[in-house]
Structure 1
Amino acid sequence: FVLVPLNLFLNLRSNYKISDIYYDLMFWNHSSSSSYPNCENVTYQLKGDLLIRELPRNLNHFLDKVSMENLHVRSGGYFSPKLCNESASIRESVAIILPYRNRQEHLYTFLQHMHPILTRQRLEYKIYLVNQDGKDPFNRGKLINIGFTEAMKEKKWGCIIMHDVDYMPLNDNNLYTCWKNPHRMIVASSKWFYQYARPYRTFFGGVAAIKPEQFQSVNGFFNEYYGWGAEDDDLAKRISYKGMHIDILDENEGLRIGKYKMLPHKEAHPAEDRLNKLEHAWSNMKKNGLNNLKYKIISKKNEALYTNLTINLLYNTSKSISLTVPQSQRKNHYRVANIKKSKTP
């Protein structure tokens, strides 16, 4: 006979769909042994060129299905080859940071597409979804700063991948690792008809890799780019000011393994003041970035395939300062981030 938990028994007595009961029972069984990852289907053999699987029309239980295809992935979207074999070698320890808001279908496609790739690349990795709460203008750079800060609290990651949720790699030989210099991983994208190094050579948006110490040395992103555009160019200027340059695969190899498909989405409206801010990238670098980051964590939840950080960016706060709030004073499930100031460049 099978022991069924009480909540499933109650579901059986209600007008619950059989498919719902099946998935509940399946994941109850999987979660009860989640400390022991199922590594039967884990492979480190790269495939080369890839197709992007389309989503089904009905997305009910879709992430459950993706999770069942990736039983080796631990809660929070974490995997290490050492979970399957303690003596296994790891190519790199990587934090994948996704700035995000209201892109469910893109997220589902990303998780389905990326977990097998990252596993095959023999990475220790974790996916951090940094979800901007509310309706204030989107701020990609600040969300990545927050994701970096929270990720580094958990582990001293060796590499940071800043990844827009709508870009999908088309070849798994494009390794999600860091180089000596920061590097752009999108060599050619569908947005630019797969032409090499478009829109320009120093472009550092979309998907990019940088070492934590390099990101800290430039003080991260400028925090005030609300709305679309220029935050990646600002970061590229900071990188240049610190004597580094942005690398990219050469054209022959890049056009073979560095292509990305950009999923369709509505075009964002450019921020009107972005170019004025960009002109002051050098002076802003020393005073605005990781060292004056202010935000509230509304919730942090370890989902089956990713860590979900829901963030209030404190858009109406005129001056960014560091806050420390005692645990006893935290209310309504809000948590004020205690940010240690890093050294300015």
Structure 2
Amino acid sequence: MCIINILPFSFGSCKCADCTSTISSRNDAIISKYYDSVVENTSGKKKLAIIVPFRDRFDELLKFVPHMTKFLNNQQIPHHIFIINQIDRFRFNRASLINVGFLYTKENFDYIAMHDVDLLPLNENLKYDYPIDGPFHIAAPGLHPKYNYPTFIGGILLLKNEHFEMVNGMSNKYWGWGLEDDEFYVRLKDVKLKVYRPQNILTGSSDTFNHIHDRAHRRRDTTKCFNQKEETRKRDTKTGLNTIKYEIKNRNELSIDGIKVTILNVDLKCDKNSTPWCDCSNQESSKPMPRKGLRKKK
């Protein structure tokens, strides 16, 4: 049985990256009191922020929270789940939401998991420990139920805070579904960060994860409009953590089966001069290109 309680918290509005340090300083004591007992009993270990970019996936969230909490508690990983909920009228922007989540949590946590809400790890040998050597891609090619190309780093990726900042976070140009993680792979490669993956995993693509995405019920926004198809196949050297524009409308604490998670309701801002494809509602669209990775801008 799932019991849900919502405890409202409002810190006013946060506009763009400039106000993040102020918000974070207010949160030190507030966030810490929501750690459950496993966090309190693992003093000295690095703290993990699970950052979940989110919109209209409540059914998946009800499964995700108890599953991930049990999975991480079994590994004694100090963690807290942050649901970064996009509430504006623009198309879904997974990368920008992850940037917002990082800026919000970086003062209180040591590393992040960029985590899809519909991908649940099943194999207990998938470790969420602090990625001391470099970015650690848990949903590796050959293990992910759908994607198997060598440069794929989507689904679940662990990064130290300093590594995420080193590459200026993720591109803010990716409105709609797909390619933002391919661009992020090129960012990591450009600064010579090696991506590590799980070793000696005996399960495969059919039984390492439970992929709970229902394509019939939750259709992905694969529309391409304006010059989006061409522009999002290039390495973005202009946008990232230092350019993101957003507003945190409010914060809530959601309790699912007695597990408290933080909900940030986020209003992303779109510069239609640079990314007009944040809204394709009045434009002719084209079919999406297949996912094969990203080319570097010449």
Calculate the TM-score normalised by the size of structure 2.
0.72
- In 2, the alpha carbon distance for the partners of 1:77 and 1:110 equals 18
**How far 1:96 moved relative to its partner?**
0.3
2:80 aligned with 1:120, yes or no?
no
The letter of the residue matching 2:246 is Y
Q: Does the 8 A contact of 2:245 with 2:269 survive in 1? A: yes
2:116 aligned with 1:168, yes or no?
no
- In 1, the alpha carbon distance for the partners of 2:188 and 2:90 equals 28
Q: Does the 8 A contact of 1:81 with 1:89 survive in 2? A: no
**How far 1:214 moved relative to its partner?**
0.6
State the partner residue of 1:147.
101
State the partner residue of 2:49.
95
Match of 1:219 among 168, 180, 185: 168
State the partner residue of 2:250.
299
State how many pairs are aligned: 238
**How far 1:314 moved relative to its partner?**
1.7
The letter of the residue matching 1:142 is S
Deviations 1:185-212 (A, max 9, x none): 01345633xxxxx421221111111111
**How far 1:254 moved relative to its partner?**
5.8
Gapped runs of 5+ residues in structure 1? 1-55, 65-73, 193-197, 321-345
2:182 aligned with 1:233, yes or no?
yes
State the partner residue of 2:35.
78
Q: Does the 8 A contact of 1:93 with 1:124 survive in 2? A: yes
- In 2, the alpha carbon distance for the partners of 1:162 and 1:169 equals 14
Deviations 1:48-75 (A, max 9, x none): xxxxxxxx7xxxx5336xxxxxxxxx88
Q: Does the 8 A contact of 1:301 with 1:308 survive in 2? A: yes
Q: Does the 8 A contact of 1:113 with 1:168 survive in 2? A: yes
Higher relative helix content: 1
Gapped runs of 5+ residues in structure 2? 6-30, 276-298
Matched residue SS, 2:49: strand
**How far 1:93 moved relative to its partner?**
1.1
**How far 1:247 moved relative to its partner?**
1.6
State the partner residue of 1:309.
264
Higher relative contact order (CA 8 A, sep 6+): 2
- In 2, the alpha carbon distance for the partners of 1:149 and 1:318 equals 25
Identity rate of aligned residues, in percent?
30
- In 2, the alpha carbon distance for the partners of 1:77 and 1:115 equals 13
Match of 1:288 among 210, 223, 239: 239
State the partner residue of 1:71.
none
The letter of the residue matching 2:124 is D
2:141 aligned with 1:181, yes or no?
no
State the partner residue of 1:270.
222
- In 2, the alpha carbon distance for the partners of 1:82 and 1:102 equals 29
**How far 1:123 moved relative to its partner?**
1.5
Calculate the TM-score normalised by the size of structure 1.
0.62
The 1:80/1:276 distance shift into structure 2, 3 A limit, reads: farther
The letter of the residue matching 2:136 is H
